[in-house]
Each structure stands twice: as structure tokens, then as C-alpha cells.
Structure 1
Amino acid sequence: MAGALPAQGTERATAPQRLTVDLAASEGPVQLGANGALYGLSDDGVPSDAALEPLKITSISQKAEGGAQHPNGDALTVSDAFLRNGGGEINVMMQDIYAKWPYEDLGIDDYLPKVDRITAQIAAHPNSERFVYIPFNEPDFIWYKLNGPQAEYEVERDRFLQHWKTVYQRIRAIDPDAVIGGPNETGYYPRFLRDFLTFAKRENVLPQIMTWHELNSGSLRDFQGHYDNYRALERELGIGPLKINIDEYANRRDLSVPGQLVQWISMFERNKVYANMAYWDAAGNLSGQVVRSNIPNGGWWLFRWYAGLTGDTVKVTPPQANTIDTLQGLASLDRSRRQAQVLLGGSEGDADVVVADVPRSVFGRTVTATVAEAAWSGYEGQHAAPRVLARTKVKVAADGTVTVPLRGLHRMSAYRIVLTPAGTGVPATPSVPWSASYEAESAAITGGTVHTHGTVQNANGYAASGTKDVGSLNTPASKVEFTVTVPEDGAYDLAVLYGNQSGRPATQKLSVDGAAPVTVTYPSTENWTYRAKQDVRLRLTAGTHVLTLAKGDAEVTLDRIDLTRYTGAPSASYEATLADISGRPSFDYASSAGTGTGALGLRRGDKAVFDVYAPRDGYYSVVPRASAPVRIALHGTASAALPDRPLRLYLVAGNNRVTVTSGHASLRSLDVSGEGSNAGVLTYGAGDAVLTGGAKVVTSAHAPGGAYIGNLGNSPDSTAEFRVDAPRSGRYLLVVTYAHNDRRDNGHAYNTDIMSRTADITVDGAAPRKVTFKNTWSTDDYWTVGVPVDLRKGTNTVTLGNPTAWAPDVARIDLGRIVAQN
């Protein structure tokens, strides 16, 4: 963890970088334009509502309904999930109706009937105004050659422009209110754009949204010039200004990496353009920000912070503007909430964040500065709620500035600084346990190879901590020995950042100082460079030790290990003043004492929504720090809660949207602790089900309980019925433990086209509910999905099946009453 707010007078070998925020220089209302994704959704439920809603996504790009480019991600199919979770616009990639990449060129006459069909489908949709037609994708090299010598360019340009006009008019003939985006080149090409805009204006076929792609590391340097050049071109031609959507951005090395992504977000938000992250790998995870379907990684938390910006963005001056892989940031000021927020990252070392023109009328003479870190946890590595590193009172200087010193920044991390008025009392010092990281490439390596990834030179390679990892650990003698030093006797959490290319769970042997090894099991990952994180608890004595990870039953790539002192069950305090709100709650900063920056005053009609992380499915203690009783709602049920008294709630693994309401209460925080207790949970294994049709119990060493239900579904007669004995009536969470590995190989050099399965879940005689189950990377890897259900006291039947397709393999179901009796 980075240190923050060190004592005055601390000496440093190198002067800190300086990032300046000017609260008096508004850039306009927060737009949240850079939070979109190409193929960010694959199905309804992938990603989950709880992972999708908090990010307040303004646009996504998906394929035309029935398109053959990928097996899922159809725009109309995912629109219900997107729109019910507050989504903005859906860019429809119309040429993704084709199966091949690059698209098979069958001529414009083949394309036009497809355009007609797509347009008719969208025009008939009840939310047709939320769709944007993208008629061409990367036309500068697909179907046309728009970057060649001048003579060739002119011929190809004229051919494209005529086709643009034809397609544009076909869309408008069917849908007169259509919003059309384009021309959607692979990059910014001013020669072509001048000709395109001139033609489009003359022929009355101007797009309503200007789109192009920024897909290489040089974009971090060049985008500002592209944007400025484009706006100047508009002014010269008397056009616009048009809305801009950079509907594919970032390299593979950027996705999931908070410190990389903050560089992209800052330049797009500063210029008030919309932007969607690229689709380099698997659909349905918001371009690498969501683990499985519901679990946040470090990138997700950065976008959650981004979604939490309110008010106006303000001018940020970084140490080096428009420079690749340097410290960048964005900031906001909300006068009504009396909050300023700064998001920054992209560089290691030390930095001073200087916030200038701090208005005394808003903040007074002293502020509370709260600093937190969102670290890189891999594309598939879970990340708990970002840890608060410091919460300190700081006086506003005579010149109206507040300086927040940050020390020991990590290049791949992003940081959030929140400034609020400082009230009376002293803020509680955050508990930050001892932690240290060790790179695999710096350890003692036997029978392995150091590989380099994710550099500027190989920008579309996968990210790796320190740009290196250790792979090829495929001989019997292969091992990596880490020399670590810990400060005291006790328990430590070891987090291993790894890749598993075996196509099934893989193992390594972990030993401490040569003692008898224990087995570490690594779930599958998409490939050997697609990072995940596995946690192991150790007991160590104070001093130096050698931790050895040696080859087990398959090859595993090692990137980094993190060692953190275990100080008890995980806990987090979610501050009310930073929650999502509705209604008109008040913000009270009269007291800085204890945890939290202030309090939220709730009245009838007000809501505060918290994003609560759970490391696994199970029961947790949830405590409202409030002045009066409140109601806490979760998974469709609500319960009264007393101030400072724990409520035992059943949370799903990953993110949980918890809503707090009250007729009259001052709410400071929602405190959550626990490791996911299963006490009181009803559990039924594969062997407990009554099976019909072809469904059968299959023995498996990898399935929880040693067996799973296979051949489930693909017929109305193939079902699994569990007879559940509920101790009380009420709302329960049904957690299904499942596996499947459906995918379709369409021949792309990238884009892993995994497919989801669905199951109809029926409780007693109620209508069935269709639930989506994402691919688990192998048939031997088991994940969970939680579904709220209502049970009556006594015997209930829970039935799983799928009359038209295969359901996933089911190993177990668990049912926990959402609000448990204490």
C-alpha cells in the first residue's frame, strides 16, 4: 500500500511530482463519458445488475441482433439489462452481422438488405431512441482502402462516400428519427475526415455522433491533438459541434489496470467525449473490469469511483501533459455536497497533489483529506473495497491551497482523494496492516523463464506486474523461491497473482523454509497471461523466510506475490457521504471524529445505496452507524435496523447493492465485517436432488461434494428437483454452484467467444425464472450465482431445468435467509 500524508519534513531522494487541481476552473458538469465498453455485456445477467448499475454507464457498443460475429452480445437482447441499470445509449455495430473478421466483402448489395432488417428491428423497439446506428466499422481498411497513396485513396474514398450516403438514407427511410454514428475509422485520419465531413454536409448525411478509435499507447500522447484538430475542422467547415464517441479505446495492457485506465479516463472526461473500452478478450465483463459475473477487480473500483464524481469537473495540471505512462488525473467539485474528489494514477514514486482555490465558503479553514487506493488485482482477481490509507485534517493555506502528499505510489494503482469540510474532533486513524509485494522475476527461479508483457513496445500484450512474469514452469524441478521478511509472529495472507493455461484447475506445492509442502489450487484462467489471484493463509514467525512455489500437476505462471498481516476478519466502513443517493438528503460535516468524513441526513423519500463487497457467499455483520433506526434493503427484502447494532445479512460473493432509508436519521457509515459464515445455511448436494429425464449424478474430484448433476435440460423432461425444508417463511438467497465450458471458435486471433447457459428455476408452483450462468473456463471449475427466492415455512420444491438447451452442471445449492435471526 502507498503511504500517504507523512510527517512534515520527511526527506526524499527525489523531489515529488506535482499534480495541481484548480477548483476555480470548471470544465462543466461531470459527464461520465469514458465508462463504456465494446461487448461489455454478453447476456442478461452477465455482468450482474449489481456489477453494472453502480458504474452509471453512459454508452456501450454491441452487435446487431442476430449477428454472426460473436455468439452473444446482441444489442436488443442485452438492452433490457443495460437500461434497467441506468444505462445510456447502445451503439449498434451493424457490420457485426457478418461472421468473419475482417468482414467478408460480399458487396454493398448484400449489405443493404441486412441494413434494412437491423433498422426495422431497432425502430420497432420501445426504447428505439436509446440506440445509435453504426453503419461501418473501421472502413479505412475493411472493404475500403482509405490510408493509401493519394490516387488510390481518392478512388476508395469516393466509393465509401457513396456507400455511406446510400446506407444512411436507407436507415433514415425506415427510422426517420435514427441517430447515426460514424465514420468509425481505426484511428484519427484528418485527410479523410475533411473529405468525409465536406461530403456529408453537402449531401445532408452528416452523422449525429462522430466516432473513431484510439487503440494504441500513442493515443495517450496524441488524443488531445486529435480532438483539437477535429474541433478546428468542424469550425472551419461550419459543422457541429457533434457529439464524439471514441467507441473503441485502450490496449489490452490497460484493461483491468487502474493506473493505466485513469490516464485514458482523464483525457476523455476533460474533453467531454464518450468512450468505450475495446473488446480484446471475453465479452460480458465490461472489457476486463468484472470477475466472473459479479466480482469487482481493481479496475471496477476505479470506474466505481469515477461514477461517484458529482458536480463539475475542474482543471487538472499533471506533471507531464499528454505523455504516455505518466501521472495523470481528473477531479470534481460539488458545492452542494461540499466535496472535492481527485482520481489519479499512472506513475510510481512520490507525488504532491496541490488543490488550489479551495473555496472557504464551501470548506471553511480546514478540510479532511481521505486517501484510498485501488490496486491492480489482475483481469480475474477479486479486489475488496479499496482500503483507506489516510484520513487527516489539513489546514487551508493562506493562498487557498491544500497539499496532499502521496508517497510510494504504485504505477498500476489508482488513488482517490476526497476533500470535505473538517468538523470538530479527530478522525480515526485508518488501520492499514503491514504488507509487502515480491515480483516473481526477482525471485530465485529453477526451470522457468522470465517473460516480458504489457510494455509500450508491446502495448497489446497482457499486463503483468512490473511488466514481467515467470512462465514455462513445466519441468518436475520447476520452482520459484521468494525470500520474504515479516515483522512479527502471526498469520499472514498470501495472494498469488497467476495465470493457468491448463484448461482445468491446476496445482502447485507451497512450502515454507523447506518444510512439508501444502497444495495450492489455482482455478482456470482464460490463458496463461490472463491474471487471476489466489489467496492462502500462512503462519510465519518474525524474520526472513523462503516461500517456495513448485510445480504441481500442471503448469502455472507466476507474476507476483503479496504478503499481508492478517489482523482478523475482513471489515470495511462504507461512508454515507460517498454513497449513491436519491431524494434530497443533507450533508453534515459538523464532526470529523471517528470513521467517515461526515454524516448523511436521511428523511422520508431519501435513499443511500452502498456497494458492499463480500469475499464469498455467506452471512456478514452489517452495522448502521446512525442516530436513529433505519431500514436496510438487500436482494428485494428490507428489515429494520437499530443504530450501532449488527444485522446478520446473507451477501453474495462480490458486489451487493445495500439500500438504507429512514424517516429521520443521521447516517455516518455502514460497517460490514465477516468472512462469509455458512451457519444456518441450508445445503443440498447433487445426490439430494430428484432427477428426471436424462439428468444424472456424475462423480467428480473437482465438484464440491464430489459430484454434480450432468445432462440437465435440453428437454422439458430433464429436471433436478430439490426438496427444501425452510425453518421460516420469507426471502432467501438461492446460491447455485455450477460449471460449464460452452464456447464457439470463430477463428479470431483474439476475442475468446465463450457462451453462457441458462436454467429455469421454479419454486413450488410459481412461474419459472430464467437465470444466466456464465462460462467457467472449464467443466472442472465451479462458480456460484445467487438468486433471491421466496420460501414458505416447511417443505418447498426448487426445480432447475431448461426445456430447449443444456443447463449448466450443478454441484450444489445453498439457501440462506437474507435477513437472519440474531
Structure 2
Amino acid sequence: MSTPRTIAVLTTAAMLVCGLAAPAHAAGATLTVNIAQPFRPVTHAASGGLYGLAENSRPADSTLLPIKVNSLTQPAPGVGQRPNGQPPGGDSLLVSPQATRVGAGEFIRMPDIYPDFPYRWVSWNDWLAKVNTMVNARLSATAVSNVIGWELWNEPDYTWNTAAAGNFNDGWVRTFQAVRALDTLTPIVGPSTAVYNRSWMQSFLTTARNTGTLPDIICWHELSNPTRIAADIADYRNLESSLGISPRRISINEYAATSEVDVPGRIASYVAKLERGGVESAHRAFWYEYGTMNGLVVNNSQPTGTWWLYKWYGDMAGNMLTTSTTTTTGLDGFASYDGTRKIVNVVFGNEAGTNTVNLTGLQALGASVRVTLLSTPSNGRFTAVTAPTTVSATTRTVGNGQLSVSVPNMSATSAYQLLVEPASGVPAYQQRYEAENASVFRAARLSATSASGGGYVGRIDNTGTPRTDSYVDFVVNVPTARAYTMTVGYANGTGATATQGLAYNGGAWSTVSYPPTAGWGQFGATISATLTLKAGYNVIRLAKGSPYFAGGTGYAELDYIQLT
């Protein structure tokens, strides 16, 4: 639904959204954060965007690296789409170098080969010829390794021309088979409906199951009301199970309406519910212009108020924490705990007045903690916000692992960050980066009791093609430019030395070797390498296979890297 429409339609949709789901304004809501109940690794799942990037490195890398962009939905090669009267832009293959530099994967939205929205169907011969052209363009781009899915259509419940093209389910099968005839490896994404509708989804899934054309990644949009997200995901899971379909990965690759997308408090509610729902990825909706990461950046390099919410999200490390709220339409938030630095990071909003954040399970932080409260305003997509506002910074006593923080004078449109750290202080910069928190391409996040933080990355493989090669990109942030010792925690159960490629910031490849260890998923062994990093953000890649790297040997599982 957020793919370009006329402004009149956008305004009407936004008004409907506002009427259905206005934030609550009654004071006294409570958000509870349980540090003792992590529920999955930090992956920055909702830090993505539809048409977030434009050609010529817009917006600047410096604005993208801090927010840890998870993934993007970008237009097809040879894009014809002209959103809101703009020239075509954001070609997935042309923006791939920048997306790769910041650790982001890409879905390719195939119908954006058409110039108009809603798409104007021509004929099946025309469409299938376009499919062949797009897929072959991607196959020829052998240096592109960050494509994580083909999105076969967009919002078929709104844009599919049944009178001219026939039933969508049949069209899905035909398009799926055309893509698979050329590319048997890249995941397929769909059906990408404008809204979640059980009967529509049941019909689609039944046909896809019966024809062997099930998408690898199930996708729909959440543009009308964040309170629907939990119920929609639960309903989909029940439907999937009832049809005998194995669990699919879920992407909500458009979220938030025109009236919400630039409102940090409202976005806090979306991200909280998307994380809680366990989605693999979620992308901010596109309503306006290319090259701004959907309104997070102004003048190519300046952050808006909403950018700071995603910066706080990007700073999260370790594991996501269980959060709950006393209101269904107002206060909500998401949180993480970095056990290596003992930092609790809570981001919340969507409520006015005086509200409370209750934290439990804080025993590891000690009896005295430093509590810092920040806010970021809803100043729109064209106003730069150079820094968040520090609301308060206090030292508090923890009783029985519990702490209650009152947050007065909240604005429902602002977002807030609550940082809780040991009063004795934390390391000046993050030194340990868990592999499961990194950008993981075609490998698996797994768990083990011996792993640092309880998680690791395994099933790292290569087959000689950038469509299936496995690598892990670590986005790290260091205070000074100098040589660092990088220690890698790993496991190698093959009984022989394994190798992977190591490169950083797009530089030359070297090879790292992993001697055999006691077994798979049994961690404690380390190897070391020396890296010369620049001050600020760097991207470090460990790869079994990657463009310009001949390929690793054997197998190794990655636990963490540590920079000292």
C-alpha cells in the first residue's frame, strides 16, 4: 500500500489509519522489561526500508552504518517505476554496492519494471519477457551477493488486473515457474499483500502448496494499525500449520502509514510489535522520495528525529528482551541486554503524560546503576536533529534486581531511550560482537550453551555462486584509527583445519585458519588476526564464499569477534 500512489489516495489512507489507531493519551501506563527473559538475538530486524537507497550513494554511508540496516526492498533492474512523479531510481543492482558496504540484504521487487502504480498490465508475453530480462540481468551481475529474494509481485490484492491477467494465484504459479526456470537458488518472496487477510492468504497458500510454488519468505504489509501485528502473525502461523506447510520466514516489507512513518513514538510501537512477533525483517514504508532511507535522512547526511530511534536500535547488542505493556494502543517499547558490557537499552514511546518503565532481573548490574533517559522529537522528515535530548542522568539503587523509572511529561509523538548500566561504568566502546547479531547471509543463527551470549552462526557454506555463498558481516565501531587484534571464537568439528576469507571495508582478502576443536557447537577455541581499522564504523567480513574471494575450505562455526 505504501508503494507510490497519488497524494489524494495517500491522504485518505492516512486519515483512515489515524481514525483507527490514534495513540492513547491517558497517563499512567507501564512498560515492563524482563532482563532475565531474552527471546532472540539482536538482529535489527525492523531496521529496513522500501526504496531506502538511491543511486550515487544516497543517503550517505555515514547515516546508514549506525542504524545497522537489516535489509531493503529495491526496484527491479531496469526500474521503470516513477513514484509520485519522480524519475525512476533505486535500481537494486545499481545500489547493491552501497547496500553491501553497510551490511544490508535486498529483495528485488519485480513489478517495479512498470512505470505506473497501480501497475498497468500489458500482456503475459510482455510480463514473461520482462521476467527473463530481470533475472538474466541479476545472473550477469556476478559481483552482487546481497540479493536475498525475488519479490514476484506487490500488493496483488490491490494491483493485480484479474480481468486482463487472470486469477492471481494462477499468475503467481506461472511467474514462480518462470523465475525458477532461470534461477533455482534465490529465495522467492510473496504474496506481499497490502493487508493480511486470512481467506485471501488461505486461497493463495493452498494453490502454492498444491503446485509446489510456496514462497520461501512469506510477506505482507502492516500499514494501518500496529495493534494488528501480533494477531496477524499468530493467525498466519495457525493457517500455515493447518495446511501442513512448514514454517516460513516472515517479512513485513512495508510498515507504517504516511501519518506515522516520521513519528518516532509511533515507530517505537511498530518495532516493538514486529520484534515481539519474531519477523525476520521489516521495512519502513515508502511514501515520498528516494534516497532518504524513507525520511530518516535530510540533505543526504543529516539525521532527522526518527533517525535517532533507529540509531538507538542500531546500538543494541546481545539479546532482545521480553517487554509487556499495560495498554493495547499506547505505550510500547523494545529492549536489549548486552551481557558483555552489562548494558540494558530500552526504546519506547507512543504515550503522553507520566508513565513508568519497570525493569526486573537486574542482579548482574550490581546494587547501584546509572540511569540515563534521552528523547527524540517528531520534527518531520525535513528537519535535522543533530542530537537527542538528555532528559535526566541519575544514579539509582537496585532492590532485589528491580528498578522502577518514572518518565514524566512524555509526548506521544516523541521516542525515548532508557539506558541502565553499572554505576562503576562500562567499557568505552563495544569490543565483543556476537556473530548472531551480525549481518548473516545464507547461514544459520543457532544456539548453544557454550556459545558467548548463547548464540552462534553455523551452516556457513559456499558453492561458487554469489546467490548461495555464505558470509557474515560485522559492523563495528572503534574510537581511534590503529591496528586492532581481532580474536575470533569458533568451533570446527571436521577433525581438520578449515579456512575462511577475511576482508574489511572492501579491502584485500586474506585467509584465516581454524584448527579442529572438540566438536560442533562446542565453543571456547579462538584464533587471532591483526586489522588496521579507521576511526568510527568499519565492516568486517568472514566468508566461506564471496565475490573476489576464491573460497574457503572445510567448515567452521562463528561465535564472536573481539577487538582489542
Tell whether the structures are fold-level matches, with TM greater than 0.5.
yes
SS in 1 for 2:177: helix
Give 3-state SS (helix, strand or coil) of 1:141's partner: helix
Partner of 1:380: 382
After superposition, give the CA deviation of every residue in 1:541-579 in whole Å (9 maximum; x if it has no partner): xxxxxxxxxxxxxxxxxxxxxxxxxxxxxxxxxx96466
1:659 aligns with 2:536: yes
Shift of 1:291: 0.6
- Code of the aligned partner of 1:24: A
Distance 1:330 1:76 in 2: 33
Matched, 1:248 2:254: yes
Change (3 A) 1:40 1:203: same
| Residues in 1 aligned to 2:537 and 2:261: alpha-carbon distance in whole angstroms | 33
Q: CA deviation at 1:174?
A: 0.7
What do the CA deviations read for 1:261-285 (whole angstroms, capped 9, x no partner)? 1111111111221111111111110
Q: Counterpart of 1:401?
A: 402
Report how many aligned residue pairs link the two structures: 419
Native 8 Å contact 1:122 1:131 kept in 2: no
Aligned equivalents of 1:234 and 1:310: distance in 2? 32
Q: CA deviation at 1:298?
A: 0.7
Aligned: 1:264 with 2:303: no
Q: Secondary structure at the match of 2:190?
A: strand
- Match of 2:541? none
**1:362-511 → structure 2 map (5 Å cutoff):** 362-398=364-400, 400-423=401-424
1:109 and 1:31 mapped to 2: Cα distance? 41
Distance change (3 Å), C-alpha of 1:582 and 1:63: same
Question: Which structure has the greater CA radius of gyration?
Answer: 1
Corresponding residue SS for 2:107: strand
Retained in 2: the 8 A contact 1:19–1:318? yes
| Structure 2 residue 212 is the aligned partner of structure 1 residue 200 | no
Contact 1:34–1:269, Cα closer than 8 Å, also in 2: yes
Instruction: Give, as a single letter, the amino acid of the residue that structure 2 aligns with 1:132.
Output: G
Q: Are the equivalent residues in 1 in contact too, given 2:96–2:146 (CA < 8 A)?
A: no
Q: SS where residue 214 of structure 1 aligns?
A: coil
> What stretches of structure 2 of length at least 5 have no aligned partner?
1-25, 83-87, 436-477, 487-506, 508-533, 539-564
- Residue type at the aligned position of 1:36: G
TM-score (normalizing by structure 2)? 0.70
Distance in 1 between residues matched to 2:198 and 2:39, nearest whole Å: 26
The AA in structure 2 aligned to 1:163 is: G
CA contact (8 A) 2:479 2:536 kept: no
Superposed CA deviations along residues 50-79 of structure 1, whole A, max 9, x for unmatched, are 111211111111111112113211110111
Cα offsets for 1:404-454 (capped at 9, x unmatched): 111111111111111111228xxxxxxxxxxxxxxxxxxxxxxxxxxxxxx
Find the partner of 2:96 among 70, 79, 87. Answer: 79
Distance of 1:282 and 1:141 partners within structure 2? 22
Aligned to 2:292: 285
Query: Which of 14, 22, 29 is the equivalent residue of 2:41?
Result: 29
Q: Secondary structure at the match of 2:58?
A: coil
Of 219, 226, 229, which residue of structure 2 is paired with 1:220?
A: 226
Give the Cα separation in 1 of the matches to 2:67 and 2:432: 14
1:422/1:386 CA distance change after superposition, 3 Å: same
Counterparts of 2:59 and 2:177 in 1: how far apart (Å)?
Answer: 35
Deviation at 1:328, TM superposition (A): 0.8
**Correspondence for 2:324 among 308, 317, 321:** 317
- Contact 2:93 2:144 (C-alpha < 8 Å) held by counterparts: no
Counterpart contact for 1:25–1:315, Cα < 8 Å = yes
Aligned to 2:332: 328
Q: 2:312 aligns with which of 305, 319, 341?
A: 305
Amino acid at match of 1:376: S
* Shift in alpha-carbon separation, 1:603–1:356, aligned structure 2, 3 A: farther
Counterpart Cα distance in 2 of 1:576 and 1:161: 55
Task: Specify whether residues 374 and 163 from structure 1 end up closer, same or farther in structure 2 by C-alpha distance, changes over 3 A only.
Answer: same
Distance 1:15 1:43 in 2: 45
1:98 maps to which residue? 114
**Structure 2 counterpart of 1:286, one-letter code:** M
Matches within 5 A, 1:805-820: none
| Higher relative contact order (Cα pairs below 8 Å, separated by 6+ residues) | 2
TM superposition shift of 1:16: 2.9
> Equivalent residues in 2 for 1:164-175 (5 A)?
164-175=172-183
- The answer as to whether partners of 2:51 and 2:90 remain within 8 angstroms in 1 is yes
Q: Aligned partners of 1:364, 1:102: CA distance in 2, in Å?
A: 57
CA contact (8 A) 1:581 1:606 kept: no
Between structures 1 and 2, the one with greater strand share: 1
- The question of whether the paired residues in 2 share the 8 Å contact of 1:45 and 1:81 is answered with yes
Identify which range, 74-83 or 197-206, moves more after superposition. Answer: 197-206
Confirm or deny: 8 A CA contact 1:354 1:403 kept in the other structure.
Answer: yes
Question: In structure 2, do the counterparts of structure 1 residues 65 and 576 end up closer, same or farther at CA, with 3 Å as the change threshold?
Answer: farther
Distance change >3 Å, CA 578–CA 375, structure 1 → 2: farther
Q: Secondary structure at the match of 1:26?
A: strand
User: Shift of the alpha carbon at 1:387?
Assistant: 2.6
Letter in 2 for 1:375: P
Letter paired with 1:170: A
- 1:261 and 1:576, CA in 2 relative to 1: closer, same or farther beyond 3 A? farther
Contact 2:121 2:165 in 1 (8 A): no
- CA–CA distance in 1 between the matches of 2:120 and 2:485? 54
Amino acid of the residue matched to residue 106 of structure 1?
A: V
Question: Is this contact kept in 1: 2:217–2:250, CA < 8 A?
Answer: yes
Q: Structure 1's 211 and 48: CA in aligned 2 closer, same or farther, altered over 3 A?
A: same
Residue 605, structure 1, aligned to residue 511, structure 2: no
Equivalent residue of 1:407, what SS? strand
Q: Among residues 59, 76, 101, which one is paired with 1:64 in the alignment? A: 76
**How far 1:336 sits from its partner (Å)?**
1.7
Q: How far 1:156 moved relative to its partner? A: 10
- The alpha-carbon deviation at position 335 of structure 1 amounts to 1.4
Of 327, 333, 344, 2:348 maps to: 344
